[in-house]
A and B are shown apart, each in its own frame.
Chain A
Amino acid sequence: MKINVTVNGTSQENEVEPRLLLVDYLRTVRSLTGTHIGCDTTHCGACTVLVDGIPTKSCTMFAVQADGASITTVEGLKQGGQLHPVQSAFKEHHGLQCGFCTPGMMIVGAALIAENTDPSEDEVRWAISGNICRCTGYVNIVKAIQAAAATTREASRQPVSVG
């Protein structure tokens, strides 16, 4: 089947089998290996991407379902040469160790911050409860996402013009 999928702003037409999983499409057809596969039962969330802005487990969706959709992967978080606040925060706060769950965590973190500029620790833990990490015990992942939210809040403060 022919599909046209926009990934990180770039559209491409490809011929794919209906059963090709979206995660495999991204990794092998689009050569974007930043999205990972950690399980086979839709539990781990390592494959999380944004599908039309919504965090989605790309292992539980077929590429053909993404025809016409706009996907953001970890490679698309950086904009105009600038790291997304969530990326910088993960490094600053040691929110990753092996890095395998990290793309999924950052995608979910970025989506959370976009709709909630000041998430509490509980809210962050809830938002990432579909993403498993084996290394960090989640502590610094939560810190990183909250820090990214703080950075985003700071950056969005408009200077007040005087006079």
Chain B
Amino acid sequence: MTTTKPITSPEIGGIGHSVRRREDDRFIQGAGRYIDDIVLPGMLHMAILRSPLAHARIKGIDSSAATAHPGVVAVITGNDLAAYKLAWMPTLSGDTQAVLATDKVRYQGQEVAAVIANDPYTARDALSLISVDYEELAAITNPQQALSPKAVLIRDEKEGQTDNVAYNWEAGDKAATDAAFAKADRVVSLETHYPRSHPAPLETCGAVADVNPITGQATIYMTSQAPHAHRTLFALVAGLPEQNIRIVSPDLGGGFGNKVPIYPGYVVATAASLVLGRPVKWIESRSENLISTGFARDFYMKGELALDKEGRILAMRASILSDQGAFFADAQPTKFRAGLVHICTGSYDFPAAHVAAQGAFTNKAPGGVAYRCSFRVTEASYLIERLVQNAAHEIGMDPAEFRLKNFIKPEQFPYHSPTGFVYDSGDYHTALRKAMDMIGYDQLRAEQKKPRPDGKLIGIGIASFTEVVGAGPSRDYDIVGLKMFDSAELRIHPTGKAILKLGVKSQGQGHETTFAQIVANELGIPASDIVVKEGDTDDTPYGLGTYASRSTPVGGAATAMVARKIRDKAKKIAAHLLEAAEEDLEWEPGRFFVKGVPDRGATIQEIAFAAYTNLPLGMEAGLEGVHYYDPPNMTYPFGSYIVVVEVDPGDGTWKVLRMVAVDDCGVRINPMIVEGQIHGGLAEGFAKANMQWITFDDQGNCIGSNFLDYLIPTAYETPRFELGETVTPSPHHPIGAKGVGESATVGSPAAYVNAVLDALWWNAAAKGGSGPLNIDMPVLPHRVWQALQR
């Protein structure tokens, strides 16, 4: 199925139109209002002193020279915060995290002290005047080391913690899975490390905390993807009454999950403002962002597929060891300690699976769930798509054929996966065949067999992902107890214009345009007549924010539902205006009219005016509503990506020759914006496959804490993309949309890696050997070269 035909005109701009973005007007004129653009009278500047060591006891801190430095107003240490019970704070995963270190530092870059000064240059000057006496301890730099019997205890402050295990978790049916494996004709296994990376939005994190000393009102401007949840957490953590806290998340220069956690900087700035009675601004540098804020991934994964003689998958096993850093601080639903990694059965139909995950503490910054991962769906999708690739290779079947053979069939939806998901809808065969068609798959395979005169190797890689987004139904999903509904509040003004307020928060996804389009679709009010507000907790209904591609599935649903509530009331007003019975009225976008008498109608604008001027007796004035939406299920976007790469055996470098991406995210509200999201995700997938990671040396020094070492592809390296689409609406979503923000980041890394491996396999086969079964990402030139030497 291809794009649905819009039911509104381009002037109305409802669903299906590539409406140009309203928010662009300010951004293209340099008039965006990002956190560092906010300047308040009397504002002070904060800089944070960070630990140079990965693991050390703090014997003492001498900040006297810093305090005495001209321009410095205050220096805050962990002991100062401890007096207010603020030295530690709860994390979003039920652990605790240091705000400013007191007993020990547990990762390089950890916050140790803060300087508040008149200007940011002075604040940073004063950092070097603080002297900290560290007693260095052995650093644990990977989870295997963390779990070894003699490992030093990282969380010695945590009552009851006797090892470095952060959590244990499992899903699926172990017995049934073991039984299936026992009967298998063949078992394919893969061990792979999905390395640590970082979302690195172009704008770093920051806050301007403004606690008014007279009124006690705390206005905290902060880079937040979830302002309401953050407000509640601030109330619980800082003991400030929630009615006095206003979180304002302004324009955000990207988020990608980096702006979901509460960082020590936000808390210390707030405490400083409270104590000093003046606004305090904290903006982190890029190096601070990379070394200390929520990283992404770092899963050591072992997967196995049990196959029968025909190459059909019978069962899957996965065991995962996760590097959580020094604190378990992921933002993820409480019930799912390893996120939604149990979606690792992917697009394939088989009856049994078992997933076991263990998290370990290490001497690194905390995090893991970030960078468009949809709660670890990136890791899950990578595992299955790499396993499937290897399986096809090992049994000598074409990887496309293997997938087509094992895909869940369209008639099997809603599909109950062996790990407990109910996939809403899908048509995987059509998407893959479309991608194969677009790239000329059969032709490519034929060409691949011919040796190239320049000696370069050609590889073709596929990934056919299914992801799970839209967290989530209240029976299963909560974050620190807060259920994951979302909300929309819509008010129509007398002149027929409208204001929509949301509980989600865009970081560039275009909500001011797309959510207006949803309302435009339901009510026929032009999208350009609808203002959309997000981010200010005083001014918007409670929501859980934007991450894990949940805005459209949950917030979009809430928006459609509230618009429908308003349409219901509008119908009553129309009946009054038209002196007809409600049952005799019909709706077309923008107006009600009397059945059979199309000229006798009332526009939504006339109805809106009447809501304030001419109401039926007994009806409340106004035309507005609010809806809190509890999704009945998650949504399951999917797609098939095919990549062609060229490998240079002389130096191990590889580049993308073609990249075809067919995505299905259900109904597309704004096709132009959907494609933009996909472009971004495909680029991020390339980055991770090709060059991007954060690693550590044996002492726990972070390598990848600046853009010299943490590589982000420029327009020159980033491949060109060819996009295709299929449209399989979500049957349970009010507008059939599934969300797409993370699809390409989820699905594409495996496609790139599979392509490089495919090139190496063909090369090896031509020489009578076999190639490597795995190369960890990033597939660095030296790793390719090493594989070729073997």
Contact = CB atoms under 8 A, between A and B. Distances in A.
A and B in direct contact, judged by CB atoms within 8 A: yes
B715 A141 contact: yes
A33 B200 CA distance: 21
Interface in A27-48: 27, 32-41, 43-44, 46
B36 A37 contact: yes
Contacts of B507: 98
Interface in B698-726: 706-708, 712, 714-716, 718, 720-721
Interface stretch (A50-58, A89-97, A112-120, A154-162): A89-97
A91 B30 contact: no
B232 interface: no
Nearest to A101: B202
B121 interface: yes
A9 interface: no
A77 B29 CA distance: 8
B25 A91 contact: yes
B680 to A, nearest CB: 5
Given A33-B30, A129-B714, A137-B718, A40 B510 contact: no
Interface residues of B, number: 56
Contacts of B609: none
Given A33-B37, A43-B707, A96 B24 contact: yes
Contact of A136 (B199, B252, B680): B680
Contact of A40 (B121, B287, B509, B712): B287
Contacts of A125: 714-716, 718
Contacts of A73: 30
B530 interface: no
Contacts of A34: 29-32
A38 B716 contact: no
Q: Which secondary structure dominates where chain A touches chain B?
A: loop
A131 B715 CA distance: 8
Contacts of B90: none
A135 interface: yes
A75 interface: yes
A128 interface: yes
B246 to A, nearest CB: 22
Interface in B259-313: 285-287
Interface in B199-233: 199-204
Contacts of A41: 286-287, 706-708
B29 A87 contact: yes
A137 B202 contact: no
A7 interface: no
B673 interface: yes
B606 interface: no
Interface of B: 18, 20-21, 23-32, 34, 36-37, 121, 199-204, 251-254, 256, 285-287, 507-510, 672-673, 675-677, 679-684, 706-708, 712, 714-716, 718, 720-721
Of all A-B residue pairs in the complex, the 5 with the closest CB atoms, nearest first, are A34-B30, A98-B508, A100-B253, A99-B27, A137-B683
Given A36-B253, A39-B707, A74-B30, 7 more contacts: A33-B37, A43-B708, A94-B673, A98-B252, A103-B30, A136-B679, A137-B679
21 contacts: A20-B121, A27-B36, A33-B34, A36-B202, A36-B253, A37-B36, A38-B202, A40-B706, A75-B29, A91-B25, A94-B676, A99-B32, A100-B203, A125-B715, A125-B718, A126-B715, A129-B714, A129-B716, A134-B199, A135-B202, A135-B508
